[in-house]
Amino acid sequence: MKRIQAIALLLLAALALPAQVIKIGSIAPDRSPWDDALKEIAREWEAITNGQVKLKIYPGGIAGIEEDTIRKMKVGTLGGAVLTNIGLTKINPDSFVLSTPFLFHSDKEMEYVLERLNPIFAKQIKEKGFMVIIWTMSGWVNFFTKDPVIYPQDLKKQKLAISTNEPEMEQAWKKSGYHIVPTDLKDLMMALQSGMVDSFYLPPLLAGSGQYFALAPHMLSLKIAPLVGGLVIVDRIWERIPPQFKQPMMDVVTRVSRKLSGETYTLEKKALESMKKNGLIIHEAPADAMAKWKEASDKGMDELVGKLFSREIYGKLEQLLQEYRQNK
């Protein structure tokens, strides 16, 4: 009887603890797959912790762009954020090695490498004061162009838009021989309409939802680089969560992230079909194309290796790729 009473008192004490509300900034639009996944995690975390942990999500960039959300996490305004590879790089530059153009040939290669580099990145990010909750691949990036592009020399005739605030990547593209025009995504449509740019690289889902493909209706099937995303939470906030809840919470995250990956691929396929019906022309890459794109890309690699990310992490990635390809 005394033992039962003690357990009951512990349960009552746990229930009496005030709820910890974690504010999450997200650039994912409301009701998008990423937003739906976050809401599912929020519901299940609240249930697992008996209401002690609640997520308050600010979707669609309400809390600002990725750099804003990182700054707000550091000052305590936000407890976490959904970040793309660009935001993750601001916290941990080595993460950007995964986005190096023309390194990966398939989803399986990327999954193999990510699984083995994930512990390294998680440790580096934790040292910066953040806890990685989700780290997942969310599709691939392709070229969309005004005129057909098959080989590097075709793209060199066009003006290529790239994200602003990426000086190392800008120099790498330039050194590889391309005409680069730094352009914010919010200005891309205007830049395409004015002729300031006539090509860009984005995930097909974004190219379709933003209707950018209408002004650059040629897509090369060759995958440039994987799109990596993640949910990070300020480490000191994660540490305040009672330890008995953490593993069940992470189990939810694993299940939801797998589901999210599947939904992303399905939506991307639907987006491509819809764009094809509305004028998109997809050009299949010949067998020799990847080698030519990789050769051109290598000319700018010294602007990335040792500057944007370390030589050590790049060497580790190359070693893992070689290991995978030899085994398979």
- Note whether residue 213 is domain-resident: yes
CATH code of the domain covering residue 203: 3.40.190.170
Q: Which residue has the tokens 């021989």?
A: 177
| 166: in domain | yes
Q: What is the tally of structural domains in the chain?
A: 1
pLDDT per position in the chain (328 positions), as tens? 556 555 554 554 445 456 899 999 998 888 888 889 999 999 999 999 999 999 999 998 899 988 899 999 999 999 999 998 888 888 999 999 998 999 998 889 998 999 899 899 999 999 999 999 988 777 899 999 999 999 999 999 999 999 887 888 999 999 999 999 999 888 999 999 999 999 999 999 889 988 999 999 999 999 999 988 889 999 999 999 999 999 999 999 999 988 888 888 888 999 999 999 999 999 999 999 999 999 999 999 989 999 999 999 999 999 999 999 998 7
Kindly list the distances between the CA atom of residue 230 and the CA atoms of 80, 136, 187, 206, 313, in Å, as whole numbers in the listed order: 10, 6, 25, 17, 19
Residue 278, domain extent: 19-327
Classify residue 111: in a domain, yes or no: yes
In a domain, 143, yes or no: yes
Write the DSSP string, 243-310: HHHHHHHHHHHHHHHHHHHHHHHHHHHHHHHHHHHTT-EEEPPPTTHHHHHHHHHHTTGGGTBTTTB-
What one-character DSSP code corresponds to residue 201? E
Residue 13 included in any domain: no
Instruction: For residue 135, tell me if it sits in a domain.
Output: yes
The answer as to whether 14 is a domain residue is no
Give the DSSP letter string of 72-130: HHHHTS-SEEEEEHHHHHHH-GGGGGGG-TT---SHHHHHHHHHHHHHHHHHHHHHTTE
pTM of the model: 0.82
Q: Is 11 within the bounds of a domain?
A: no
Q: For 53, phi and psi rounded to 5 degrees?
A: -125, 120
